[in-house]
Amino acid sequence: MNYQAPWWLPGGHAQTIWSAMCARHRSGSPLPWRRERWTAPDGDFVDVDFLRSTDFVKAAPNAPLLVLFHGLEGSSASHYAQAFADVASQRGWQLAVPHFRGCSGEINLAPRAYHSGDFEEVDWLLRRFAHMQRGPSGARAPLFAAGVSMGGNALARWAGEMGESAGMHVDGVATICSPLDVTAGGNAIDSGINRHLYARLFLRTMIPKALAKLAQHPGLFDADRLRSVRDLHGFDDVFTAPVHGFRDADDYWRRASAKPLLAQVRVPMLLLNARNDPFVPAHSLPTPDNVSAQVQLWQPEQGGHVGFASGAWPGHVLYMPAQVCAWFAGAQCIDG
Please pick, among 149, 178, 257, 284, the residue that the annotation labels catalytic: 149
Please pick, among 118, 181, 236, 277, the residue that the annotation labels catalytic: 277
Radius of gyration of the chain (CA): 19
> Phi/psi zone of residue 306: left (φ > 0), alpha (ψ -120 to 50 degrees), beta?
left
Of 51, 10, 37, the C-alpha closest to 309 is: 10
| CA dist., res. 108 & res. 142, Å (int) | 30
Q: How far is CA 185 from CA 151, 221, 256, in A?
A: 13, 25, 12
In the three-class reduction of DSSP (H, G, I as helix; E, B as strand; rest coil), residue 233 is classed as helix
| CA dist., res. 35 & res. 98, Å (int) | 9
| Distance spanning both ends of the chain, measured CA to CA | 19
Contact (CB, 8 A) for 31 and 53: yes
Contact (CB, 8 A) for 309 and 6: yes
How is the chain split among helix, strand and coil, in percent rounded to 5?
45, 15, 45
Q: Where are the beta strands (DSSP E) in the chain?
A: 33-39, 45-51, 65-69, 94-98, 143-148, 172-176, 269-272, 295-298
Residue 89 appears among annotated catalytic residues: no
Residue 228 appears among annotated catalytic residues: no
Of 105, 153, 165, the C-alpha closest to 255 is: 153
Residue 19 appears among annotated catalytic residues: no
> DSSP letter string over 66-88?
EEEE--TT--TTSHHHHHHHHHH
Please pick, among 25, 70, 169, 305, the residue that the annotation labels catalytic: 305
| CA dist., res. 57 & res. 63, Å (int) | 7
Q: How far is CA 133 from CA 57, 70, 99, 210, in A?
A: 11, 21, 19, 35
- Residues marked active site are found at 149, 277, 305
